[in-house]
């Protein structure tokens, strides 16, 4: 079991989707293996000195790795730059890893990357553990507020999602 972290579930979903998509791109020419691992980790002074975004203490490390094409040193130095991409036009915006980097900064965590050409890449994401987790008692959660007849313009390019959103909003008034 790993310690509790204070993290936004949507942001974690976005991280995993971005890293998973990048892994798929790296392995699409030749099938490979995608691994996801979650472990508790104590960061000591030496490790923190090598990773400036981290401080000594308890962390939860989320690792996402693939056995794809890997990256060279020049590419590794630029991967978190907005709009930097190695993908052909139409296959990527170059924003995925910049978003992951921003999410980790907002969670006061850090990232390290291990990559070797022809062998694959592993991203290690470090989330600070919290000492205690306060779980709201059943019934203590706030109820979802109902609308008072306001109008909302909701746009989505996927018709099923637009339909579901409309139904949910209608139920809430």
Structure tokens belonging to residue 21 = 């998509």
pLDDT at residue 20 above 90? yes
How many secondary structure helices (H) and strands (E) does the chain include?
Answer: 5, 4
* Residue pair 57/41 in contact by the 8 Å Cβ criterion: no
- Residue 91, judged by CB atoms within 10 A of its CB (0-12, 13-18, 19+), counts as exposed
pLDDT on residue 103? 92
pLDDT at residue 135 above 70? no
**Confidence grade of residue 138 (pLDDT, cut at 50, 70, 90):** low
Indicate yes or no: pTM above 0.85. Answer: no
The mean pLDDT of 64-70, rounded to a whole number, is: 96
* Residue pair 131/59 in contact by the 8 Å Cβ criterion: no
Distances (CA, A) of 125 to 18, 35, 93, 97: 13, 14, 22, 12
DSSP letter, residue 9? H
Distance of CA 12 to the CA centre of its chain: 4
Contact partners, residue 108, CB within 8 Å, separation at least 6: 128
Distance of CA 23 to the CA centre of its chain: 13
Rounded-to-integer distance, Cα 143 and Cα 130, Å: 27
pLDDT on residue 101? 93
């Amino acid at each position: 079991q790993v310690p509790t972290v204070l993290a936004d579930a949507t942001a974690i979903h976005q991280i995993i989707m971005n890293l998973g998509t990048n892994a798929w791109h790296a392995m699409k020419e030749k099938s490979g293996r995608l691994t996801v691992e979650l472990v508790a980790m104590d960061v000591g002074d030496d490790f923190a000195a090598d990773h400036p975004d981290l401080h000594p203490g308890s962390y939860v490390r989320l690792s996402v790795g693939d056995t794809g094409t890997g990256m060279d040193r020049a590419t590794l130095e630029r991967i978190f730059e907005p709009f930097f991409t190695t993908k052909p036009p139409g296959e990527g915006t170059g924003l995925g890893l910049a978003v992951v980097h921003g999410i980790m900064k907002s969670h006061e965590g850090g990232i390290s990357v291990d990559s070797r050409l022809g062998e694959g890449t592993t991203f290690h994401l470090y989330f600070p553990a919290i000492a205690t987790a306060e779980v709201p008692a059943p019934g203590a959660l706030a109820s979802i507020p109902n609308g008072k007849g306001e109008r909302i313009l909701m746009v989505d390019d996927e018709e099923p999602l637009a339909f579901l959103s409309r139904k949910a909003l209608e139920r809430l008034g």
